[in-house]
Structure 1
């Protein structure tokens, strides 16, 4: 049985001095306005009244008309945070000086280290070893610094509007781009940390720190790679369980990552699939652009996730009402017709021309009485028939249409925001006028506001999905078992059978004499498989429905003549008349560990690509959920009069394979395809285990 543990705080490093230092020193402070050392010094001195700032320059006694010291150790007072912006040639000396001065944290702006080749990487690793021995955390090197708007720390080179979202980014430019999108959405930054080379502190360390930070409501992560995927998973799951969602933007998610994969499982489990599985397990939201990230974060920090899929559409115009309804249904949300009682209640607030069945079209009600938006919204929020409200269309533009309405429209925005805040409702808005004063009143009151209805609908859909899972226990990896050192069909078959995977009776044969001896133990009809080629069925290497000894001899001689396989497998033929064929596999990701795959299998695996993945190992209950989430799951539950198959048996088989793979970290890929699942059980008809070249 797979063991699961609640998300435990990993061994976390104290990063107080990184985000809330009592003093700061700029090592490499400069008078040259073209250098980072100048920009950082200017910003540090700007906050000197609240946080002492010291300038370090080996050759100048003054910088920016302020006294400068030749080294940290030459100062007569302690330094919490040292920001190092010296050329790469002087970086070791600056680090040794910081260690000797007993600084509490380091931000390394310096480039030209681990990103510059193997020799520089070895040098960087040696520096990190010295820092860890001294107990000093380092951000970077090759980074853009750190900022904490809640403590007033500004040790970076760009402006970040204050807010409640923390940004952890491997790319400084992406972080700046993201901050611009935040501004467009009315969001701001609590913390910013530039990972750079992430030689010491990694994304998981910083996520963990943000979970413990009162000023952070959500965490935006841009990462180009994870040193320890399981460590990140633990931190992200902890963040989700603490109500501080992580939104992840990553690169390298294309199909190129699976080149050289040796099995169907390997080719189907792309880097994107791996990230999707990890994100699903940890409650992390995966996005594809800074724009998507900002859109989703606005919803996450301003909108309570809906308890269900039923959305009420509130519009002032039939066109927007219809567009919003279609957009919601496109993302699997429901715009259900209201009951007669609710429709009657709404009609009492609106002109006779209004439509009140859902979607609601105020039909000019806004022009006649702008407060009708608030009254209708209140009825919708109070109704048990709705889980969320999407307001869409012209709100925000009435003041331009009639200046006399401007003040009332802004007040309506405030009143809507107050209503949502007081009720805790799931309420989201789209408007043609997102920069208007009424739209700003909505944002200031805590309502998420979007320009495009498809974006509002997409965010509402993501929030609805998020509400379905409230905790994120992660699978524990077992202690490694005795490793496999060689593979082959029969080695894989025996190993998996010993682990509890059921197979049809069979025997391995290399000669006609072997065939004579082994066939006596088997029942017809039989299958004869030529071994040594994973695509044996495509080459006529699998002969089915062998009814008697004469047919077996003919099949044997045919395979020897055409393919000359080193060995063959002779197996009893399973009755597939009532069976569904599945594929079950595990691919070991070098960063995140075992990733479990299930799907519709057999010869249609590559054609249909109907698969689902999860961070492994999985329990039988999780495996059952995966199986029932396949597009072809109706084949399992009974389709067109066929009896349902034994999903529980299939799920147990998935759990067994995943547990075996998790206990064997030397295995690169493992696959059982097909698995025949019948109304009475599940049985493996084929198996492959693949070791990476270095271990085979």
Structure 2
């Protein structure tokens, strides 16, 4: 349902308006009146009064025209009455600042009342809504105009982001305070920002993801539309209380799930408001159409398309579609000659600084964040050297060595040579530029003229220019910002923003699973015997085994299974740590001794006598699925065995999985070279490993009663994959 009535209503009524600047009603009313050249504004307060010559009316029934949006800023017990009056008056949208009643149930009933009449509700318990492109300011505080659209569950965080944006010469296109999300939620608001032409970068602070899969589809749609999404969220782990139940519970935290969803949809998960603003400022410069993203491509088109005629970025290519009509998995990572996955090609950055020290530190900061500071090609070196003292050679970083002090225009000349050179994707100017006029006001005009030249050089080259300077809020920096050149006070800010921009450029979003399969018949318990049977029914291979309760039964089973074998105690989550596993048993005497010892140590009443799986050149993996309250089943694979949590080398994705997606997860592990053939060893059967992950993910998706399902270890080898242990955790 359209949110036009939220962002650009033909008329607004503020209920609870006030003439007292200390009250919310004043700010809402004053903000509404600021847009009265575009829309009709009604102010309502049963006690009477006026603001800016506009009288307060006693109630919504007194309005001469229909209020398309009603802003409710009255005590909670009065909210429902106001909403009922608004619906009777024909209102289509309600922004509820205060809480919607005595608790969640009353708020849900309020939302149901509004939506049953075809309306929408923002909040309750929200800070309001702002659209600087339609002169709509229905909130408390100052919201500078700009190109960043923000969706937030925190009002104060939004104010902090706004102030940081203003200091950087940027601001908001739209701001939506979600509040308790009883109707309009994060996905709704983000969808509206994606479709909003004036919003170049989308930012969000979300605590409650609600329908996480729907939100994931929205994030992927934003990337397809060329709208970068920057996300902040909390780091609390839903799994912390269950960490002892399985390795999966310890490794798949709520934060890790969000991180994986962002990676797979092209969004960027950030750590702080400052980091969000730094990245947004750089990305708005890119989206302005004055530069392309820092690439990462070699000998092919840039990772993000160049600007089209109206200054917006063209949408990325649509995903490839298979013969079955489903999105094709992205191409697998390139493999080097030694069988290891090739690292992504890093964007190449040229650095020019006022001193060798600043340039070198800038290069280190960029390299530490995965960016490349390459040797410049011969033509670029010659073009730069022409303006350096002594016309000597130059490297990257370029040391101005006094060229700027000798002639301020050398900043523009040298930077232009770097921007026009063919071997880099972006240029960082670091040091003193922007501060000359502080010490010598007579240089203000010249420094501003050089800033104009820098901005024009970046525009004509179609490459990104980033400036790090020790200056702050000088006229030259204002000129740079007006030209869309990002300016940073610390080099680590610039480097981090460039690294995040590069991530958005290289992102190849996966289509999130559309739905989870319908639940199958629940399993009886999460023990090895039950889970093994479940996973075998989905095609996962296990060694031959029999389940026994006595030593004599164990000996009989061993004669049928054959030696060597393994003995496992049932009913233990961490069998090895509890002394519930004995491997490599070679005869009946050793078997009976292990059985007696295990019974005394663990107290178990049931045991598995299992064939030993011995495969040369095998690798132990852990594979698991955890049910996330917002995102549903989440699949995980990593290096396994008893060191799974120690290594913490894992990859996550929403389940179920396709074989291509499962293979991608395997190759994304830090230790993936062990799978592809390390130091001459044969590669494991990646297709079999991927099929095993798919079987596990499918089984977990069909059994929501299992909030965790794990195979550890999953032994993968050149001839296939076999599960050596499995465990589930019931709701």
SS in 1 for 2:576: helix
Worse overlay, 416-425 or 263-272: 416-425
CA contact (8 A) 1:281 1:615 kept: no
Deviations 1:626-685 (A, max 9, x none): 223323223223334433323332222222212222232232011111111222222111
Matched, 1:90 2:72: no
Change over 3 Å in CA distance of 1:99–1:381 after alignment to 2: same
TM-superposition CA deviations, 1:84-131 (whole Å, max 9, x none): 111111111111111111101111112363xxxxx5221111111111
Residue pair 2:61, 2:89 contacting (<8 A) in 1 also: yes
Name the structure 2 match of 1:236: 219
Does residue 120 in structure 1 map to residue 103 in structure 2? Answer: yes
1:367–1:398: 8 Å Cα contact kept in structure 2?
Answer: no
CA distance in 2, matches of 1:412, 1:371: 6
- Measure, in 1, the Cα distance between the counterparts of 2:428 and 2:204: 28
* Residue in structure 1 matched with residue 177 of structure 2 by the alignment: 194
Indicate the residue corresponding to 1:633 in structure 2.
672
Counterpart mapping for 1:391-470 below 5 A: 391-400=429-438, 405-470=443-508
Is 1:209 paired with 2:192? Answer: yes
- 2:325 is aligned to none
Given the superposition, is the C-alpha separation of residues 158 and 556 from structure 1 closer, same or farther in structure 2, using an over 3 Å criterion?
same
* Aligned-partner SS, 2:13: strand
Residue 37 of structure 2 is aligned to residue 37 of structure 1: no
**1:212 to partner: Cα distance:** 1.2
> Is the 8 Å Cα contact of residues 707 and 730 (structure 2) preserved in structure 1?
yes
Alignment partner of 1:329 out of 362, 367, 370: 367
> Which residue is 2:45 aligned to?
57
Worse-superposed segment, 45-54 or 181-190: 45-54
How many residue pairs match? The answer is: 674
SS of the aligned residue for 2:577 comes to: helix
Q: Any conservation in 1 of the 2:34–2:135 contact (CA below 8 Å)?
A: no
For 1:475 and 1:422, how far apart are their aligned partners in 2?
Answer: 42
Equivalent runs, 1:599-678 vs 2, <5 Å = 599-678=638-717
The alignment status of 1:687 with 2:726, answered yes or no, reads yes
- In the TM superposition, what is the alpha-carbon distance from 1:380 to its structure 2 partner? 2.4
Query: 1:14 is matched with which residue?
Result: 2
CA distance 1:31–1:397, change in 2 (3 Å): closer
> What SS does the corresponding residue of 1:657 show, helix, strand or coil?
helix
Q: Which structure 2 residues correspond to residues 165-184 of structure 1 after superposition, within 5 A?
A: 165-184=148-167
TM-score by length of 2: 0.88
Q: Deviations over 1:527-564 (max 9, x none)?
A: 01111112221232111111123332332333234333
How far apart, in 2, do the equivalents of 1:562 and 1:40 lie? 69
Match of 1:5 in 2: none
Residue number in structure 1 paired with 2:11: 23
Large movers: runs of 4+ above 4 Å: 61-65, 400-405
* Residues 181, 110 of structure 1: alpha-carbon distance in 2 compared, 3 angstrom cutoff: same
- Say whether 1:594 aligns with 2:633: yes
Q: TM-score scaled by structure 1?
A: 0.92
Instruction: Identify if the C-alpha distance between structure 1 residues 97 and 355 changes in structure 2 by more than 3 Å, giving closer, same or farther.
Output: farther
Alignment CA distance shift 1:391-1:641 (3 Å) = same
- Which residue of structure 2 lines up, in the alignment, with residue 258 of structure 1? 240
Aligned residue among 349, 364, 368 for 2:402: 364
Counterpart-to-counterpart distance in 2, 1:578 and 1:472: 32
Answer yes or no: is the 8 Å Cα contact 1:581–1:674 preserved in 2.
yes
Is 1:259–1:267's contact at 8 Å kept on the other side of the alignment?
no
Question: Which of residues 554, 576, 590 is equivalent to 1:537?
Answer: 576
In the alignment, which residue of structure 2 is the partner of 1:74? 62
- Cα-to-partner distance string for 1:239-284 (whole Å, 9 max, x where unaligned): 1221112211112x13475222421101111121111011112222
1:46–1:322 distance in 2 versus 1, CA, 3 Å: closer
Displacement, 1:139? 0.8
The CA distance in 2 between the partners of 1:412 and 1:46, in whole Å, is 38
Answering whether residue 367 of structure 2 is matched by residue 379 of structure 1, we say no
Match of 2:598 among 556, 559, 562: 559
Q: Distance in 2 between matches of 1:35 and 1:543?
A: 71
CA 1:604 to 1:429, structure 2 compared with 1: closer, same or farther past 3 Å?
A: same
What secondary structure does 1:639 align onto?
coil
Cα distance change on mapping 1:505 and 1:257 into 2, 3 Å = closer
Q: Secondary structure at the match of 1:537?
A: coil
Shift of 1:471: 4.1
Distance 1:289 1:497, change over 3 A: same
| Conserved 8 A contact 1:305-1:426 | yes
Aligned match of 2:547: 508
Deviation at 1:32, TM superposition (A): 4.1
Is 1:111–2:99 an aligned residue pair?
A: yes
Structure 2 alignment gaps of length 5 or more: 287-291, 297-345
> What is the Cα deviation at residue 321 of structure 1?
0.9
CA distance in 1, matches of 2:238, 2:114: 37
